[in-house]
Amino acid sequence: MSAPETNVEKQKKQHKPALMGIRGAVLFALVLLLGLIGWVASQGQTPVDPDVKIDGRTGDEVVVE
């Protein structure tokens, strides 16, 4: 079945607020995604030294001061 009325210009006007909301939500999600990628990239290469290391030969804990 096809739609009884296919006045595209009228439908554009009626759906404009919903389409603007969808565009805004997509833009907001894109900004958050780019922020996450930037944060992960800046934090991802920072080496972290543990307080306790494990000796690979014996399995004992070695305290690092």
31-40, pLDDT tens digit by residue? 999 999 999 8
pTM exceeding the 0.75 threshold for the entire prediction:
no
Q: Which amino acid is located at 10 in the chain?
A: K
14-32, pLDDT tens digit by residue? 899 999 999 999 999 999 9
Q: What is the DSSP string of 4-63?
A: S---HHHHHHHHHHHHHHHHHHHHHHHHHHHHHHHHHHHHTT-----SEEE-TTT--EEE
Q: Which amino acid is located at 37 in the chain?
A: I
Q: Please tell me the total count of domains within the chain.
A: 1
Has residue 40 been placed in a domain? yes
Long-range CB contacts (within 8 A, 24+) of 5-11: none
Residue for token digits 């944060």? 39
Give the residue numbers spanning the domain of 39: 9-63
Has residue 28 been placed in a domain? yes
Has residue 44 been placed in a domain? yes
